Amino acid sequence: MHTRRTLRRSRMAAGVLAAAALLVAGCSDGGSTNTASTNTASTTTAQAALAPLPQATPSALASYYGQKPVWRSCGVPGFQCATLKAPLDYAHPESGQVRLAVARKKATGPGKPLGSLLVNPGGPGGSAVGYLQEYAGIGYPAQVRARYDMVAVDPRGVARSEPVECLDGRQMDAYTQTDVTPDDQEETDELVAAYKKFAEGCGARSAKLLRHVSTVEAARDMDIVRAALGDRKLTYVGASYGTYLGATYAGLYPDRVGRLVLDGAMDPSLPARRMNLDQTAGFETAFQSFAKDCVKHADCPLGGPRTTPQQVGDHLKAFFRKLDAHPIPAGDADGRKLGEALATTGVIAAMYDEAAWEQLREALTSAMKQNDGAGLLSLSDSYYERDSGGRYANLMFANAAVNCLDLPPAFDSPQQVEKALPAFEKASPVFGAGLAWSSLNCAYWPVRATGEPHRIKAAGAAPIVVVGTTRDPATPYRWAQSLTRQLSSARLLTYVGDGHTAYGRGSTCIDSAINTYLLHGTPPPAGKRCS
């Protein structure tokens, strides 16, 4: 996810995953809770492995693999940009093309060049090009940037690569303020209407592309980029959803795996509801850490030294209920007020990075003590990538488009959500209800899912490093453990701590282990833990 800019905005985009709707969708402790046919994978499906593609390049794709990028100035000093093409539909390469935006920063030296290092911040929907220009290309360790050309490609449907579009700014403002904890049938109907309007907007504005923004297609695009760059194998660092993209690449092209780092790992074997439930529990774990820290500070508006984390959560929920009934001013030029939905998003945004906890305390103090919601609104806007002019990046549009294509929906109806509420609220008393209802958005998607839960083995691949953070809110640690067990050549590197992802976030131990792997090809020893 990103470098620090009010909330490490580059990093935060990386953490939006699962079935992000009005919030990021949530998840739980791992116990099975519901058995709806759309979400509970059968044993056969859950254990099915992603099959590798033939090693030989199909003749129909030869022209794509023969491309040579024409580099030009990006307008950002030190960076170059190019455009490559990929087939819209790999099953029918003749049916159309998509344009992929690629950026690079050449290796600075000294030392023997090691080729290209592709980076992806996650999402789905996070701009890899933006991440490279704002963080990775200048913030990655100097010794890594010295030996590698730092490269990024925006996946199809994202940012500069033919972005999916759904709603305009004012429509998105209304969407993000929709109540995701409905109290009655009228509010439930309003939420369903919001999901339908969002889906219809995507279908109307991006109809052709919506069927072809899957993770498998994006991974196949990466292989075209690899070939165009002249690299025999792919070297890659992916964060959050970027781990799913990287693992998918490894499953499709195990013989072309170079040095892969999958930081903040996702588990491709999980159905959507289980994934959302696990993530809900992850946000609760992060909130518990925040609560324990908050009460140590004199400015904590949620309690004092003797306040328990449960009481902190109760106080926050009471504040959310108050905002649900009476939104407060937020100093917004467009007249938005801070209601429950935006406030909850602001709090969740700060869970991604413990460095944002101070900012969250200040924002909560202003809102709870001074009736000023500007701080929480700012956090929410950073999460949604809304600028001061009321314009939204396409993060949330691409996020839904990819997620709703990759997996069948977590829920088919409001009735299914209502039955699942106890499990979600058990996973997170603070966020559970909102994250459960947010998992309903794919039920109304205009395109049926093409993907299913599956395992990724990548038999024959070179060693792959999977990184997991023990109190990661968005990609729970157990997902890293599961992905490590699936990948035949994976090594698990554990960070014992808070926050989403671990590389480049202050742990010398983590950074040293990954740098050694990237520079020398030596993975960390099995079971290595850092704190």
How many Å is the Cα radius of gyration of the chain? Answer: 22
> Across-strand partners of 70?
none
The residue whose two tokens read 């467009």 is 334
Of 15, 62, 454, nearest in space to 252 by CA: 454
Cα gap 428→47, rounded to integer Å: 29
- Give the closest residue to 423 by CA, choosing from 49, 30, 97: 30
**Whether residue 500 lies in the annotated active site:** yes
Catalytic-labelled residue, pool 221, 263, 372, 472: 472
Residue 189 is among the residues annotated as catalytic for this protein: no
472 is catalytic: yes
Closest-CA residue to 342 (of 380, 371, 389): 380
Residue 355: strand, helix, or coil = helix
Q: Which residue has the tokens 């058995």?
A: 35
Contacts of 428 by beta carbon, 8 Å cutoff, 6+ apart: 26, 280, 281, 283, 284, 287, 435
Determine whether 325 is exposed, middle or buried from the number of CB atoms within 10 Å of its CB (0-12, 13-18, 19+). exposed
10, 161, 214, 240: the catalytic one is: 240
For residue 146, count CB atoms less than 10 angstroms from its CB and return exposed for 0-12, middle for 13-18, buried for 19 or more: middle
User: Which residues carry out catalysis?
Assistant: 240, 472, 500
